């Protein structure tokens, strides 16, 4: 596990952008699982402003680690946010964007998206293998859309499952922990003081870490990298 700490959210996102830029130089294709939230939004803005001509976007194939079951035009759509802040500003081949069809029936879409991933990614250890999966950390310790009340999704043999938000009951499509942990590389981008206690508990295996899905993200044969800002690392004891 690698931990890198940066001054603020902007420098944290910039560091990940640098990391992504370096990775794409060495490959012909990079299969990436994206996440939503405020930090990826900041990352996308930085990629557009400073990396539009530094990255060969034709190499990158985009998938989603999770998505809300809403149409792409909804303000809650992770794909919609990615399109607004990243895709529409760059020349990315349409066939490189593999979105979750959030407008579909959730159970049927989980099956369809699982099949799409299986057909497009190499199979390692009997599961599709992403080159890189980007994750965030919720204040309740969730990651992707694997919430504390659905810990079974961490070890599910499925590729994608239907998850439910614990408060709203909103349905989502999420990669399972089995697929996330099969990735070549998993990168957590975590910023903000509100995440500091969970960050320390998860990294130091203390407190109530066993209750947090993010604690169980440990790539079996890949790398785990944490990009943190100073606020998120404020309670971290190394």
Query: What's the CA gap between 204 and 217, in Å, rounded?
Result: 14
In a domain, 222, yes or no: yes
In a domain, 238, yes or no: no
Model confidence pLDDT, tens digit, residues 185-219: 999 999 999 999 999 999 999 999 999 999 999 99
Model confidence pLDDT, tens digit, residues 40-78: 999 999 999 999 999 999 999 999 999 999 999 999 999
pLDDT at residue 37 tops 90: no
Query: What's the CA gap between 236 and 238, in Å, rounded?
Result: 6
pLDDT at residue 35 tops 90: yes
Number of domains in the chain: 1
Query: What's the CA gap between 89 and 92, in Å, rounded?
Result: 9
Query: Average per-residue pLDDT in the chain?
Result: 97
Higher pLDDT, 19 or 36: 19
In a domain, 11, yes or no: yes
The confidence score (pLDDT) of residue 54 equals 97
Check which CATH number belongs to the domain holding 160 and give it.
3.40.50.1360
At residue 201, the 3 state secondary structure works out as: helix
Residue-number span of the structural domain to which 137 is assigned: 2-229
In a domain, 236, yes or no: no
């Amino acid at each position: 596990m690698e931990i890198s700490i940066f001054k603020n959210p902007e420098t944290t996102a910039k560091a990940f952008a640098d990391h992504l830029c370096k990775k794409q130089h060495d490959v012909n294709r990079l299969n990436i699982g994206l996440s939503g939230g405020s930090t990826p939004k900041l990352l996308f803005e930085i990629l557009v402003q400073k990396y539009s001509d530094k990255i060969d976007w034709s190499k990158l194939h985009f998938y989603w680690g999770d998505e809300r079951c809403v149409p792409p035009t909804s303000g809650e759509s992770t794909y919609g946010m990615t399109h607004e802040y990243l895709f529409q500003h760059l020349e990315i081949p349409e066939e490189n964007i593999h979105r979750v069809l959030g407008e579909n029936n959730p159970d049927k879409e989980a099956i369809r998206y699982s099949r799409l991933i299986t057909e497009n990614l190499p199979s390692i250890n009997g599961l599709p293998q992403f080159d890189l999966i980007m994750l965030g950390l919720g204040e309740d310790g969730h990651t992707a859309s694997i919430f504390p009340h659905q810990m079974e999704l961490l070890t599910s043999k499925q590729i994608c499952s239907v998850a439910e938000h614990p408060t709203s009951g909103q349905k989502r499509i999420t990669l399972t922990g089995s697929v996330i942990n099969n990735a070549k590389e998993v990168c957590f981008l975590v910023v903000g003081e509100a995440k500091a206690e969970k960050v320390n508990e998860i990294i130091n295996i203390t407190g109530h870490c066993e209750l947090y899905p993010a604690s169980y993200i440990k790539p079996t044969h890949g790398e785990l990298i944490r990009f943190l800002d100073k606020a998120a690392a404020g309670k971290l004891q190394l």
